[in-house]
A and B are shown apart, each in its own frame.
Chain A
Amino acid sequence: SAVISQKPSRDICQRGTSLTIQCQVDSQVTMMFWYRQQPGQSLTLIATANQGSEATYESGFVIDKFPISRPNLTFSTLTVSNMSPEDSSIYLCSAASRGSDYGYTFGSGTRLTVV
């Protein structure tokens, strides 16, 4: 399975600012995803990061708030824009493998606190 490096691991940010989270995979993967995990909750899919095209967002998430880049098959970024305390969550990137190794691999997550 792929190995994912995600950074920063945590950050404390002022409301109204933006934070960009980076996700680096050690091999080329077709699909990458960004999840949000609010305190004590399960994972909610934010968007699918598509290489060479715009991300596909899930209901309730918009590009202006969570712009995503996917410049190549090993890297993606998620920006949390104009942050408010409600954005305090763990943000996780994941990569999907096909074939016999089908499944998701997750980064270690970014714990974001907005004050």
Chain B
Amino acid sequence: AQSVTQPDIHITVSEGASLELRCNYSYGATPYLFWYVQSPGQGLQLLLKYFSGDTLVQGIKGFEAEFKRSQSSFNLRKPSVHWSDAAEYFCAVGTNYNNNDMRFGAGTRLTVKP
């Protein structure tokens, strides 16, 4: 079965600094990959997703992610972090188009310092 690993439980960055959140997946074929953000007390909001094609995916709120098959990774990046980006970030992997087998990583909590 597929799985997702987010190696960093908690990351702290200064406002204006660049950000990279790591995500590694395990699956034998090409996966469907997602990044979600969860603000405190809220549900999950989809930032971006990758199915096929261009391996650099642009999302909302200035985020992007790059799919690297050779490294089984789908890292999330943002060039300049804003205080409002402080939240929990979840990477997820799905394997079929019917969408009933999505698995989530443990999440990375982002703290933004003034």
Q: A-side interface residues toward B, CB under 8 Å?
A: 1, 4, 6, 31, 33, 41-43, 45, 48, 92, 94, 96-98, 102-109, 111
Contacts and interface: CB of A to CB of B under 8 A. Distances in A.
Given A42-B105, A109-B42, A103 B100 contact: no
A102 B97 contact: yes
A105 B36 CA distance: 10
Given A103-B34, A104-B34, A111-B41, A1 B46 contact: yes
A27 B53 CA distance: 28
Nearest to A104: B102
Contacts of A97: 99
Interface residues of B, number: 22
Interface centre among A42, A98, A106, A108, by most B CB within 10 Å? A42
A109 B49 CA distance: 22
User: Which secondary structure dominates where chain B touches chain A?
Assistant: loop
Interface string B64-107: 00000000000000000000000000101000011110101111
Closest 7 CB pairs of A and B: A96-B99, A106-B43, A106-B44, A108-B43, A43-B104, A109-B43, A42-B106
A33 B41 CA distance: 19
Interface centre among A43, A94, A102, A106, by most B CB within 10 Å? A43
Contacts of A41: 106
Contact of B49 (A43, A96, A102, A106): A102
Interface of B: 32, 34, 36, 41-46, 49, 51, 90, 92, 97-100, 102, 104-107
Contact of A92 (B32, B43, B92): B43
14 contacts: A31-B99, A42-B106, A43-B104, A92-B44, A96-B100, A97-B99, A98-B97, A102-B97, A103-B46, A103-B99, A104-B44, A106-B44, A108-B42, A109-B43
B43 A6 contact: yes
Nearest to A110: B43
Contacts of B36: 106
B110 to A, nearest CB: 15
